[in-house]
Chains A and B, each alone.
Chain A
């Protein structure tokens, strides 16, 4: 029998059946007389802030004529690779630190649990590189933990 650490690491996939959306027109529902504004509600939920003192930066260089859809596809691919390799880190996209830096697109990911991130760096670089191997026009230029020790 395999040891727990030898077992394949996977991400589960949703297997429910998605039905087409049902549109419900409530314009005939009863309402008090008088004028009223037509609005969209805004979420007011509180989000737990993630610690922002450590993050992972992945730098990818695209060809000058890269299409936005290709950039997005590569970004999704590398985030999936990171999650598959190190799910225990709980890495999530860090919008405030992600940026364009010169010719590079910098994708910043913040760990929910940074313990062990340094030890996982080599595996992350290997798997990110593999994820981008078949992506013509996108080249990995750097992966680093920030701030640098």
Chain B
């Protein structure tokens, strides 16, 4: 049995929606959200009913428990505040095929956002952060922040 090799995160991007058309085999990211605003008339704290996190993983060998973690990050010197971590999903990367890339979309619902600022999305395998990309999303209230 081949030794396990942890995958790396080639890409992680929060977005409004990820659409996969199996017939045409096309993937569409709708409204990537590196920066996002509350809808007019709303203020923090809020629950975001739905957003998607699009990830691409590669170079792994073996079976891992994947999850997504969200945390609010601050200026240097202030530790990040964990927001939450998803349940895990098992994913098996076959051996001898480490060049293959897996697109793993996460549909995330009812996410609490306590205030404006930067939120980081990280992919974990077996509860450990993977090497590679993380995503930062800035969320703000357009009534108080231009």
Known: A16-B56, A26-B109, A32-B114. A40 touches B104 (CB 8 A): no
| Pair B37/A31 contact, Cβ less than 8 Å | no
**Per-residue A-contact encoding for B1-42, CB less than 8 Å = 1, 0 else:** 000000000000000101010000111000111111111001
Which range holds the interface residue count of chain B? 35 or more
Which of these binds chain B: A17-25, A58-66, A103-111? A17-25
> Contacts A26-B109, A44-B142 given: A39-B46 contact, CB under 8 Å?
yes
Q: Chain A residues near B47 (CB, 8 Å)?
A: 31, 36-39
Q: A24–B83 contact, CB under 8 A?
A: no
* Cβ-based interface call for A8 (8 A): no
Give the interface of A toward B (CB within 8 A): 14-19, 21-27, 29-32, 34, 36-45
B63 to chain A, nearest CB (A): 14
The A-B contact count (CB < 8 A) is: 130
Q: How far is the CB of B29 from chain A (nearest CB, A)?
A: 11
Q: With A34-B45, A39-B49 as given contacts, are A24 and B16 in contact (CB-CB < 8 Å)?
A: no
For residue B76, CB closer than 8 A to chain A, the reply is no
- With A17-B101, A39-B49 in contact, do A26 and B84 touch (Cβ < 8 Å)? yes
CB atoms of A17 and B50 under 8 A apart: no
A27 CA to B103 CA, complexed, in Å: 25
A-B contact pairs, 21 of them (CB 8 A): A16-B56, A16-B101, A17-B102, A18-B20, A21-B18, A21-B52, A21-B105, A21-B106, A22-B105, A24-B68, A24-B108, A26-B108, A32-B45, A38-B48, A40-B48, A41-B37, A41-B38, A42-B37, A44-B140, A44-B142, A45-B35
